[in-house]
């Protein structure tokens, strides 16, 4: 069981970019632009929110706060929010908005990553919940920002219509 937890905690997050690439490749030209921009914006926003949240709230990692031994090596820094969970949920949210069925799978895999990080004793549940909420917010905002930016770019100006 420990090997499964270790795999999910360390490597399952790599499924998110792979799933995203599959969704992107299957999309039409218009959605490819939106998806690409939404992902970039979501990742940038997630990174910024991660740094802000980490400065506002400190949660010691379980192996620091108690005598539990982590299943994977990790630095004894602030555990809040879980970056693995945060970025998985940011990507999964963008995927979900465009392709609900695949998005549900991506969201479930993201949750498994978070649960495995807790089971591996490198995060507490609050770190995972924080990562999940921040990631979903970043993914949603990335989607809406991309739609708005591309709509502005594609709207003809007055000189073009005259």
Question: Per residue in 93-139, pLDDT tens?
Answer: 999 999 999 999 999 999 999 999 999 999 999 999 999 999 999 99
48 alpha carbon, distance to own chain's centre: 12
In a domain, 161, yes or no: no
- pLDDT at residue 149 greater than cutoff 80: yes
Q: Are 90 and 138 in contact (CB under 8 A)?
A: yes
Q: What is the pLDDT of residues 68-86, one digit of tens each?
A: 999 999 999 999 999 999 9
Average pLDDT, the chain: 94
- pLDDT at residue 161 greater than cutoff 70: no
Tally of structural domains, the chain: 1
In a domain, 52, yes or no: yes
Where in the sequence is the domain holding 116, given as residue range(s)? 2-152
**Tokens standing for 101?**
């069925």
**pTM here?**
0.92
The domain that contains 60 carries what CATH number? Answer: 1.20.144.10
Burial of 150 (0-12, 13-18, 19+ CB in 10 A): middle
Confidence at residue 154, expressed as pLDDT on a 0 to 100 scale: 72
In a domain, 160, yes or no: no
In a domain, 8, yes or no: yes
Residue count of the chain:
162
């Amino acid at each position: 069981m420990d090997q499964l937890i270790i795999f999910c905690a360390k490597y399952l997050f790599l499924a998110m970019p792979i799933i995203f690439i599959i969704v992107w490749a299957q999309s039409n030209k218009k959605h490819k632009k939106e998806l690409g921009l939404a992902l970039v914006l979501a990742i940038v926003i997630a990174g910024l929110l991660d740094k802000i949240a980490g400065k506002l709230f400190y949660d010691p990692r379980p192996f620091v706060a108690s005598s539990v031994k982590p299943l994977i090596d990790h630095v004894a820094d602030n555990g809040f929010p879980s970056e693995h969970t945060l970025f998985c949920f940011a990507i999964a949210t963008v995927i979900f908005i465009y392709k609900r069925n695949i998005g549900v799978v991506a969201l479930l895999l993201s949750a498994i990553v978070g649960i495995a990080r807790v089971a591996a004793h490198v995060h507490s549940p609050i770190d995972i919940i924080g990562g999940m909420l921040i990631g979903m917010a970043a993914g949603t905002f990335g989607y809406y920002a991309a739609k708005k930016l591309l709509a502005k770019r594609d709207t003809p100006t007055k000189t073009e219509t005259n």
